[in-house]
Structure 1
Amino acid sequence: MSIAPVVRELPGMDRTTRRTPNLAHALARTAIRTPGATAVVFRDLRWTWAELDRRVDALAVALQRRGVRPGSVVLTHAPNCPDMVTVMYAVWRVGAVWAPTNFRLDPDDVVALARHVEPVLFVCHRDYPAHAEALAEVPVWSLGDDPDAGAADGDDVARLVAENDGERPVAYAPRVDDPVWLFFTSGSSGTPKAAVLTHDQMQFVVTNHLCDLMPDLRTEDATLVVAPLSHGAGIHVLGHVARGARIVLLPERRLDPETAWRLVEQERVSTMFTVPTILNRLAQDESAARHDRSSLRYLIYAGAPITGKDLGRDLEALGPVLVQYYGLGEVTGNVTVLPTWMHEPPPAPGEIPPAGIERTGMQISIQDEGGNELPPGERGEICVCGPAVFAGYYANDAANAKVFRDGWFRTGDLGYLDERGMLYITGRDSDMYISGGSNIDPREVEEKVLRHPDVAEVGVVGVPHERWGEVGYAVCVPRAGSRPDPATIEEWCRSNMPGYKAPRRVVLVDALPTSGYGKVTKKLLRALLEERGEWPTEAEAS
């Protein structure tokens, strides 16, 4: 018996004619439903949803009058500030594409991004004049921390909002697959790529976040933004706009745990999005115990693996409020979720904590190098499909050909699914090193090294070696108050793990290097070792 192939599109159905809601529609809907409720809190400023929506309308009118059209790219370089939210929603309302940078990037880095995505407008914070000057060939608008104080000259978001206050733009009605956000991925080397996110994809992402991460989010809730809105924190905020839950911004750019916990108590904050490095600082700071945290229901962390040691400490300090998700910018975080009720006591020392189960509407496949699906317990590349997967990289056919195979998005991460469907991430394919013919995942080694009582943090990287090809170097942060001997830790490693996995050298540092995205990358570890003269020279490695 044969089965006829499924018809991919019904007669007369052309998906390019299908409409999808504009991502900015959620703001307009919330402003109608709860106009007087607080939307944004920053220092002494408190905007209502009606005020925020009115500002977005006014700036959208200014964008249209300056020739910004559907599909135009608007590059934005700014730390978290109230009008960052105004800009993102105004850009979307007119059908343009928002391209926010990491505000820690140097001017040359931003210029490289601009050359790649060709923006028609650059919105730049007033505290970064060198960046604005570097992109002088592109029209520049400024914005600042104080929305009521525009720049003395030139185009400024505050002034443009005031000039067009009360006017309504021609709202754009997008079609399926219309781009909305160029999401610059952090990457491990080279210039970050721009992942194209679309209106319909992001509508699914918002729904999925509300379903899997914050299932009972309500209008009276609030989120404290402790990470850049340009990336994961910006995605997290979208669900709060849809629900009408207020957005609380830190008063300063540097994270101060005392200030963060004071705001949690003062604003009755119920959610936060963090990365593990921020989570650890918040949870392990003594100020956490001095403030009322009873309103906090979901402290969500993502962006990098968490160690078993840190997970145990954080759970003990904060209680059952932790939610982990795994996913890259290309999948906008929607691969797995480990909800509060699945956060069990940490695994045995040296074991890898789980990354969670498949997000609703998404599917994971662990595949070998040939694209064949592997059974539970076998390690391979984590591949994923579903509505949260991005449309592809902007103007980068080579990268697209590399990351898509037979319809699956290839994450480049390695891991396995257990019999329950729980995902365990063992590392990135690009981070692996080969020692004596054996593939070694740095993360597995890191978990073992963390069992040493005097090691608080560790990053392992493979370095060239004449005999073995590569060997592992462990960059360790000692436990507070301890002064261990690197040779003693090296000997302990040789006694507590297979010899080929044991780090050949231990280097002690005060802190591990992190990227602007809060990640400890192998590139940064190598740079640190090179700076200290610890990285083998070509003569030493050959």
Structure 2
Amino acid sequence: MATLSVAAILAENARRRPDKTALVEGELRLTFAEVWSRARAQAGALADLGVRPGDRVALMAPNTAAFPIAYYAIAAAGGVVVPVHLLLSASEVEHVLRDSDATLLLVHPAQAETGRAAADALGIQVVTLGEEFERLAAAADPLPAYVTRAADDPAVIFYTSGTTGVPKGAVLSHFNLVMNATVNAFDANDIRADDIALGALPLFHAFGQTVSLNSTWRAGATLVLLPRFDAARAIELMVEEGVNTFHGVPTMFVALAAAAAAAGTLPELRVCVSGGASLPVAVLERFEAAFGARIYEGYGLSETSPTATVNQPVFGTRAGTIGHPLWGIDVEIARAEAEGRIELLPPGELGEVVIRGHNVFSGYLGRPEATAESLVDGWFRTGDLGTKDDEGFLRIVDRKKDVIIRGGYNVYPREVEEVLMRHPGIAQVAVIGLPDELHGEEVCAVVVPARGTAPDAFGITEWSKEYLGRHKYPRRVEFADALPLGPSMKVLKRELRARYSGR
């Protein structure tokens, strides 16, 4: 049995470069030896709390030093990390805790109210990060080393909504995550041990976790955390700390390009990576002109650890594309209509993006049917439509599943529709994404009012805030007498998008 642990990423740095600065957050500066020492103390506390290898531990925290330390502590104790999205409502957090069968929730004081409400409803143990967890760690015997795990054992369960609208747990193994961090660090772009990266992407998200945290540390580089993204503050912090590496979603690049003019000094950036949503070429050009730095756009999903492709210097780069597959990964275009089989298409043809390689997840937790639908003939079906040209450059054209990507966060229309259909003034609703300069896409609900009611747009938005995470509720509400239907009685969302996007 081959053994491997994500915890090795930190443990090896503590062994190889103990005195190197690993983590910076505000005034706090920790070396690799110090981070590993704290993680082992917390792992001891987790063992005292009854966490056994294979147990699921939910982690709900912003980009403070508490997140990476607790993340590696869970891995060191042999537990499985269940990152919790910070914008979820208490009932949504409850679903994640219940579905993952989490035995413990580690929650940051800023999220304690929501996290505790969800955990209390299920009778799950809660420990607050900061003073409470530190006290337990100080009283525990630190683990001498990390617990051995099989390479294919689960390491992290990311919650991702499918078209069904109910978030599913994508199970990623230690092998998936260590390999993705390794090829991101050493094969995709030129990452060096003396690099300093800004951790502005949420670490609970696959992109921030693998690319900002794990890949940066896999290369032995320094991570500077920014708990709340603000473009002017990000520029200031990057200059102060000598940051040369930035990972972000398109909305961050939009904001940075806009803030650059007002900033006195700009950081000297060597590597910038964009992902999470399509980066408009105009944004790429504006940013590159302002900062004199190149953006490498990539693509991936929670189910693929996440990076599958990225623009890489070795293959040349091309604006408007997602580059080439990572080392050891195949990405092809398959016939989208072919059910239950993979039929690869020649270059230039539009089809579904399919992926195979060391980055593909084990499956959806407790959902064998959903797993069987997405893993076909050894390939993962992404549900995204794209093309591959003669030179191997991949391009994402549209999303087969109508997913809305708002500010880098996936919003699944079906999930929002399910909630809105409970509103007494709504007879029918279709949720679509409309182009938005700041967020890439904005959530729009097209509503057919219930007979005898006269709901107003503001009222619907306010009502929906109670039941939906902050990234999901509709900022825009339009009213219609009827929704356009196709021959199979499905709502024609492309017609709605065409109708409302010009307004």
Do the structures match in fold with TM over 0.5? Answer: yes
Quick check: 382-391 or 316-325, which moved more?
A: 316-325
| 1:179 aligns to 2:154 (yes or no) | yes
Following superposition of structure 1 onto structure 2, how do residues 149-298 of structure 1 map, counting pairs within 5 Å?
150=131, 156-164=132-140, 167-169=142-144, 171-185=146-160, 187=162, 190-218=165-193, 220-231=194-205, 232-236=207-211, 237-250=213-226, 252-253=227-228, 255-286=229-260, 290-294=264-268, 296-298=269-271
Report the alpha carbon displacement of residue 365 of structure 1 after superposing the two structures with TM: 2.2
Report the alpha carbon displacement of residue 405 of structure 1 after superposing the two structures with TM: 1.1
- Using a 3 Å threshold, how does the CA distance of structure 1 residues 330 and 110 change in structure 2: closer, same or farther? same
| 1:35 aligns to 2:18 (yes or no) | yes
User: Aligned equivalents of 2:349 and 2:328: distance in 1?
Assistant: 24
- Using a 3 Å threshold, how does the CA distance of structure 1 residues 132 and 190 change in structure 2: closer, same or farther? same
Q: Find 2:65's aligned residue among 72, 82, 101.
A: 82
Report how many residues are paired. 430
Match of 1:22 in 2: 5
Write the letter of the residue equivalent to 2:169. Answer: A
Report the alpha carbon displacement of residue 340 of structure 1 after superposing the two structures with TM: 5.7
Quick check: 328-337 or 379-388, which moved more?
A: 328-337
User: Aligned equivalents of 2:230 and 2:274: distance in 1?
Assistant: 18
Match of 2:39 in 1: 56
Whether contact under 8 Å (1:261, 1:288) holds in the other structure is no
User: Aligned equivalents of 1:73 and 1:127: distance in 2?
Assistant: 22
SS of 1:411 mapped into structure 2 = strand
Gap regions ≥5 residues in structure 1: 1-17, 145-149, 151-155, 347-352, 433-441, 444-458, 462-470, 480-514
SS of 1:421 mapped into structure 2 = coil
- Using a 3 Å threshold, how does the CA distance of structure 1 residues 381 and 408 change in structure 2: closer, same or farther? same
Q: TM-score, normalised by structure 1?
A: 0.73
Q: Find 1:322's aligned residue among 278, 295, 299.
A: 295
Report the alpha carbon displacement of residue 194 of structure 1 after superposing the two structures with TM: 1.1
Report the alpha carbon displacement of residue 309 of structure 1 after superposing the two structures with TM: 2.2
| 1:421 aligns to 2:392 (yes or no) | yes
Write the letter of the residue equivalent to 1:199. Answer: H
Match of 2:463 in 1: none
CA RMSD of aligned residues (A): 3.1
Q: Find 2:305's aligned residue among 315, 327, 332.
A: 332
Whether contact under 8 Å (2:200, 2:225) holds in the other structure is yes
Q: Find 1:44's aligned residue among 7, 21, 27.
A: 27
Relative contact order, higher structure (CA 8 A, sep 6+): 2
Quick check: 364-373 or 176-185, which moved more?
A: 364-373
Whether contact under 8 Å (1:322, 1:339) holds in the other structure is no
Match of 2:353 in 1: 382
| 1:403 aligns to 2:392 (yes or no) | no
Q: What does the per-residue CA deviation read over 1:275-330, in whole Å, with 9 as the maximum and x for residues that have no partner?
A: 11112111232357522322x21111101111222222222222343111111110
SS of 2:361 mapped into structure 1 = coil
**Identity between Structure 1 and Structure 2 (%):** 32
Following superposition of structure 1 onto structure 2, how do residues 458-469 of structure 1 map, counting pairs within 5 Å?
none
Following superposition of structure 1 onto structure 2, how do residues 95-106 of structure 1 map, counting pairs within 5 Å?
95-106=78-89
| 1:305 aligns to 2:281 (yes or no) | no
Write the letter of the residue equivalent to 1:141. Answer: V
Gap regions ≥5 residues in structure 2: 406-410, 414-429, 439-467, 490-503
Whether contact under 8 Å (1:322, 1:343) holds in the other structure is no
Q: What does the per-residue CA deviation read over 1:231-277, in whole Å, with 9 as the maximum and x for residues that have no partner?
A: 11111211222232121111x52x21111111111111121221111
Report the alpha carbon displacement of residue 343 of structure 1 after superposing the two structures with TM: 4.1
Q: What does the per-residue CA deviation read over 1:174-230, in whole Å, with 9 as the maximum and x for residues that have no partner?
A: 113111000122556623211111111212111110134432411x22111111111
User: Aligned equivalents of 1:104 and 1:35: distance in 2?
Assistant: 35
Whether contact under 8 Å (1:302, 1:325) holds in the other structure is yes
Q: Which has the larger radius of gyration?
A: 1
User: Aligned equivalents of 1:474 and 1:327: distance in 2?
Assistant: 20
- Using a 3 Å threshold, how does the CA distance of structure 1 residues 59 and 477 change in structure 2: closer, same or farther? closer
- Using a 3 Å threshold, how does the CA distance of structure 1 residues 74 and 540 change in structure 2: closer, same or farther? closer
User: Aligned equivalents of 1:208 and 1:304: distance in 2?
Assistant: 21
Q: TM-score, normalised by structure 2?
A: 0.79
